[in-house]
């Protein structure tokens, strides 16, 4: 660990939902759920108003609707999330050249590389407050929770302590006292299965874990995991901030609070991740030949399976189809706590029509990722549109040949609602020119 609290973790609060509330004034202060909107959909993010009803990420949309039927269920707009994330990462790099993005809404920052007079708690606290204000400014009002500590682990724990819109700085020497009363699940990698093993051994809190020898932990959960738990229970973490390097692969993964056992749900998650990977490939002008899935089982066994195409692709449907095929080869009956999709073997060209027309995916199209070019009969809830007379708005709902639009943007107040035939020539999908 460092001698100073110089590692900062920033986490944008309920990011996807917060962007939707920012851009849709009528939804501010109301429950918003972003993800797949159909019966087989999966929740990507829920606003804090929806979380009060028990809605959470990786929950099926069907269950989310039963818990919070009055929420706005939106399919997501990746271009808006990507552009907002870029603004945040730029603000972080203005503070320090050492920034490690973990996802669109989360990053570590090494303050030792920042231009600071010293690294006292008062100085880093002031910088963190000004950084949160800067993030609010560049994102149009989004909030971020920030933690600062002597290691990545402590900074991440600290950022979770005062959500949303909080700041916690853990002074050097206070790490172990902070951790001791916490449940063992605060430690990365301790999910339901590991927590149950530890509970059976009488280990409930980090303080309990601290009294257990490394040999006993290795016996309980395996060598790699046991060694890691022994170190982290004592706040020992020397991982460095690793800024972005040359892209060799593009991947998305998620860790889930509850072990997944429903195969359809896992297929839906992989489909969504494949769509996010495809969007990032296209945004970077890249394609790839090798599709890989990463699956971490309930016992922390991590499996990787891959397949290689004869030529590169950037199509979500192709990546998703291969990912689901790889999943079908694995036994996941005991439960899965992490899923991921990646594409490597990157190139800057694509062979068109290699596989012929894309087949329709058998599961819900991925949330928060634009799919194929929209037809006039497929208006997704939440998508941006523009009308020849009334200007910009978003799809409130559609069905039976009618699409309903609320005309408002981040710069307006709540706007009027109008309905049109789905093939009305005056209504078009809208994307920002730079996207």
> What DSSP assignment string belongs to 323-368?
HHHHHHTS--TT-EEEEEEEEEEEES---TTTT-SPPPPSSPPPTT
Contact 55, 64 (CB under 8 A): yes
DSSP class of 154:
H
Residue 174 to residues 135, 151, 170, 218, 430: CA-CA distances in angstroms? 28, 12, 6, 27, 51
Q: Taking the mean position of all CA atoms in its chain, how far away is CA 277?
A: 12
- Cα separation, 50 vs 18, in Å, equals 12
Tallying the residues shown for the chain, one arrives at 435
Give catalytic status of residue 106 as yes or no: yes
Q: Residue 251: is it exposed, middle or buried by C-beta count within 10 angstroms (0-12/13-18/19+)?
A: middle
Given the residues 106, 267, 364, 408, the one annotated as active site: 106
Distance in angstroms (rounded) separating the CA atoms of residues 108 and 162: 17
Burial pattern 200-235, b for ≥16 Cβ within 10 A else e, equals ebebebbbbbeebeeeebbebbbeebbebbbebbeb
* Helix locations, 254-338, DSSP H: 263-283, 316-328
**How far is Cα 408 from Cα 176, in angstroms, rounded to an integer?**
49
Q: Which residues have a catalytic role annotated?
A: 106
């Amino acid at each position: 660990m460092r001698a100073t609290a110089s590692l900062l973790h920033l986490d944008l609060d309920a990011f996807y939902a917060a962007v939707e509330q920012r851009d849709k004034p009528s939804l501010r202060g109301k429950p918003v759920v972003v993800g797949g909107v159909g019966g087989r959909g999966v929740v990507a993010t829920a606003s804090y108003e929806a979380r009060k009803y028990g809605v959470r990420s990786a929950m099926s949309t069907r269950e989310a609707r039963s818990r919070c039927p009055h929420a706005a269920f939106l399919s997501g707009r990746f271009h808006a999330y990507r552009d907002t994330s870029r603004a945040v990462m730029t603000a972080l790099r203005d503070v320090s050249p050492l920034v490690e993005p973990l996802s669109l809404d989360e990053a570590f920052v090494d303050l030792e590389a920042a231009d600071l007079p010293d690294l006292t708690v008062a100085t880093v606290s002031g910088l963190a407050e000004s950084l949160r204000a800067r993030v609010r400014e560049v994102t149009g009002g989004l909030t971020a929770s920030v933690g600062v500590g002597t290691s990545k682990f402590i900074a991440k724990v600290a950022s979770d302590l005062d959500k949303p819109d909080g700041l916690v700085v853990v002074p050097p020497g206070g790490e172990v006292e902070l951790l001791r009363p916490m449940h063992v699940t605060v430690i990365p990698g301790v999910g339901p299965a590991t927590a149950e093993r530890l509970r059976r051994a009488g280990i409930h809190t980090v303080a309990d874990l601290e009294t257990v020898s490394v040999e006993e932990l290795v016996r309980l959960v395996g060598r790699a995991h046991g060694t890691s738990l022994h170190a982290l229970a004592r706040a020992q973490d020397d991982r460095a901030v690793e800024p972005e390097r040359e892209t060799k692969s593009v991947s998305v993964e998620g860790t889930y609070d509850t072990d997944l056992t429903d195969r359809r749900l896992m297929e839906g998650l992989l489909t969504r991740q494949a769509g996010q990977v495809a969007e990032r490939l296209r945004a970077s002008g890249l394609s790839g030949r090798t599709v890989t899935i990463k699956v971490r089982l309930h016992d922390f066994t991590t499996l990787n399976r891959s397949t290689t195409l004869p030529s590169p692709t950037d199509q979500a449907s192709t990546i998703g189809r291969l990912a689901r095929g790889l999943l079908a080869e694995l036994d996941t009956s005991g439960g899965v706590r992490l899923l991921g999709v990646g594409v490597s073997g990157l190139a800057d060209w694509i062979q068109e029509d290699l596989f012929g027309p894309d087949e329709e995916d058998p599961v819900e199209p991925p949330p928060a990722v634009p799919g194929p070019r929209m037809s006039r009969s497929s208006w997704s809830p939440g998508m941006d549109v523009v009308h020849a007379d009334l200007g910009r708005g978003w799809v409130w709902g559609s069905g039976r040949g009618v699409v309903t639009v609320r005309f408002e943007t981040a710069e307006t107040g709540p706007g009027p609602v109008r309905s049109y035939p789905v093939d009305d020539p005056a209504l078009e999908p809208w994307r920002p020119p730079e996207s």
